[in-house]
Each structure stands twice: as C-alpha cells, then as structure tokens.
Amino acid sequence: MQLFVGLGNPGSKYAKNRHNIGFIVLDEIARDHGFTPWKSQFQGEVASGTLGGEKVLLLKPSTFMNLSGQSVGEAMRFYKMTPEDVTVFHDELDLAPSKVRVKLGGGHAGHNGLRSIHQHIGEHYRRVRLGIGHPGHKDRVAGYVLSDFAKSEAGWLDDVTRGCSDGAKELAAGDSARFLNAVSLRTAPARSSKSAKPAQETKAKPAPETEAKIDTRSAMQKLADKFRSQ
C-alpha cells in the first residue's frame, strides 16, 4: 500500500492558493481514478482506491501546512508503512510554473510542510515538486504562496493537475520517468504536423516551344516577305 500526500491548508479560504497545489492535484487523481469519497481520518481528509493494481491512500492533512507531519505520521503508523511508501505533492518555489520534478529524499529547503514531515517520518520519502515560480524576493514569499493563482495561470495549472493524474499509475508503480512523460504530454504537447508550413508551390514555366515568338521584322521586310510567298 502507498500513501499519496497533498500539502495545503484546509478550508475554502485557502482552496485556490498556490500553497494548495498539492490538494488540487490529489482532488484530480481522486476524481479521475474512481477513489472513494473523502472522509475525515488521521487529522486530515482521506480517499482510497487503486492505481494500476496498487492500493493507494490519498491524504490531505487538515492540520495546516506547518503541522502536516502529524497527519502523515499517524496514517503511516496505522498502516505500518515506511517512508519509502510515501509520496508528497507540494508547491515548489524554485521551479518555474508548470514544471514538475520528482525527488527522493533530501532536505526540505525551508518548506514548512516538508519540514514538519521531516520531523515525524524522516527525509527518505518521495516528493513531486510542483513548480509555482518565485515572487522575486524572499520577503514576498509568504504573501505569494498564500495568494490565489491568477486567472492567467488557469491553463498551465489545469495541464499540470491533469498530467499528474494521467501519470498517477506510473508513479504508483515507481516509474518516475513515465510519470513525468505523462505530465509533459499535457504541459508541452508535441507540435501537430498540421502546424508545419506547406511547401511553397512553384509555378512551372511554359515549355520553350509553347512560348509566343516575337516578330522583330520591319514593315518593309514584312511586305517584301509577303510578295515572295505569293
């Protein structure tokens, strides 16, 4: 059994925040793959289902971001999981919007949700880093992540969430490369052959024998030639 965790803050006030992209992705996976309705458990909201034959529990902690580890640790202990069974979907300031990367282990880079999870289960879990971009200065980070996605970002956000759902089975199977490929098919689809410029048509020149000949004779020459032909 695996545990897919989405990070965010509970409540409608935060639902569309950049910090809640982990929740948004898990909602998409639950809808697309026929998971059970969400219910309250493990200090969070959970839904269960299967991805490619692998049983998976989806978890959205209700503890607020900086206490996410409490919820994750409780679910892990209940199902006797190890950190290697856990995948965390979270916002990533160091990646441009629409960029997605998978990482196993490592530091929390100052992310409060990851910091809390580190404290409860250690660092040896898998992360799906969902790029949201950086506001440009560290003093603006808090306001940036706790603000809603702009309307202009709706397109790439939809592509990322759908792409993560498309590749969820591969992720559950441990195939990060195929998962990322599924995401890229949404975020950077191959160009259609229809978009290629058609070859320029060239007008064929008339054959030399069909071209009209220009008569360069003078009027006197034409008259003389006329009498010769009679």
What does the pLDDT look like over 65-91, one tens digit per residue? 999 999 999 999 999 999 999 999 999
Q: Is residue 165 part of a domain?
A: yes
Look at residue 208 and tell me if it is in a domain.
no
Q: Is residue 212 part of a domain?
A: no
The CATH number of the domain where 13 resides is what? 3.40.50.1470
Name the CA dihedral angle for 17, 22, 27, 32, rounded to a multiple of 10 degrees.
130
User: In this structure, are residues 17 and 148 in contact, taking their beta carbons and an 8 Å threshold?
Assistant: yes
Position 204 in a domain: no
Strand 126-131: give its sheet, edge to edge.
39-41, 44-51, 54-61, 2-6, 86-92, 126-131, 100-104
pLDDT of residue 228: 59
Number of domains in the chain: 1
Bridge partner residues of 50 (DSSP): 55
User: Is residue 135 situated within a structural domain?
Assistant: yes
In a domain, 83, yes or no: yes
User: Does 215 reside within a domain?
Assistant: no
Annotated catalytic, 19? Answer: yes
For residue 207, the 8-state DSSP code is: P
Q: Residue 226: what pLDDT? A: 58
User: What is the residue range of 171's domain?
Assistant: 2-187
In a domain, 230, yes or no: no
Annotated catalytic residue: which of 19, 90, 111, 118?
Answer: 19
The DSSP output letter for 17 is: B
CB of 106 within 8 A of CB of 146?
no
Contacts of 14 (CB under 8 A, 6+ apart): 8, 20, 146
Rounded Cα gap, residues 189 and 223, in angstroms: 75
- Euclidean distance between CA atoms 125 and 108, whole angstroms: 11
Walking along the chain (230 residues) 10 residues at a time, the average pLDDT comes out as 97 97 98 98 98 96 96 97 97 96 92 96 97 95 96 97 98 97 91 49 47 55 58
pLDDT tens string 155-192: 999 999 999 999 999 999 999 999 999 999 999 986 55
